[in-house]
Structure 1
Amino acid sequence: MIGNLLGLGALALGWRRSVVSWPVQLLSGLVLIAAYFSGHVPGLIGKQLIVIAAALWGWSRWQHSRRETGEIAVRFATWRERGLLAAATALGTAAVAGLFLAVPELSWNPWADAYIFVGTLAAMFAQGKGWIEFWFAWIAVDVVGVPLAFSSGYSFSGLTYVIYFVLVLLGMRSWYLRTRTARPATDTVLQGATA
Structure 2
Amino acid sequence: MDWQWIIEGFVAGLQQMTWLEGVAVFFGVASVYFSMRENIWVYPTGIISTLIYVWICLEVKLYADMGINAYYFSMSIFGWYVWTHPKEGKEVLPVTWLKWKGWLFSILLLLASYGVLYSVLSNFTDSDVPYWDSFTTSSAFVGMYLMAKKKVENWIAWIITDLVSVPLYFYKGLILTSFQFLFFTVLAIIGLIAWIRSAKHYAGEA
TM-score (norm 2): 0.79
Paired residue for 1:99, among 109, 112, 120?
Answer: 120
Q: 1:182 to 1:129 in 2, by over 3 A?
A: closer
Q: Is the 8 A contact 2:68 2:140 kept in 1?
A: no
Deviation at 1:177, TM superposition (A): 0.7
Q: Percent identity?
A: 18
- Greater C-alpha Rg: 1
Q: Letter of the 2:92 partner, please give it.
A: E
Paired residue for 1:111, among 117, 131, 148?
Answer: 131
How many aligned residue pairs are there?
Answer: 184
Structure 2: stretches of 5+ with no match in the other structure? 1-21
Paired residue for 2:84, among 46, 58, 63?
Answer: 63
Q: 1:100 to 1:151 in 2, by over 3 A?
A: same
Q: CA RMSD, aligned part only?
A: 2.4
2-structure distance, mates of 1:32, 1:182: 35
Provide the residue aligned with 1:158 in structure 2.
Answer: 178
Structure 1: stretches of 5+ with no match in the other structure? 189-195
Q: Is the 8 A contact 2:60 2:172 kept in 1?
A: no
Provide the residue aligned with 2:95 in structure 1.
Answer: 74
Deviation at 1:59, TM superposition (A): 1.2
Q: Is the 8 A contact 2:163 2:182 kept in 1?
A: no
Q: 1:36 to 1:84 in 2, by over 3 A?
A: closer
For 1:1-195, what aligned pairs fall within 5 Å after superposition?
1-35=22-56, 39=59, 43=63, 45-65=66-86, 69-105=90-126, 107-181=127-201
2-structure distance, mates of 1:80, 1:183: 19
Q: Letter of the 1:24 partner, please give it.
A: T
Q: Which moved more, 1:80-89 or 1:42-51?
A: 42-51
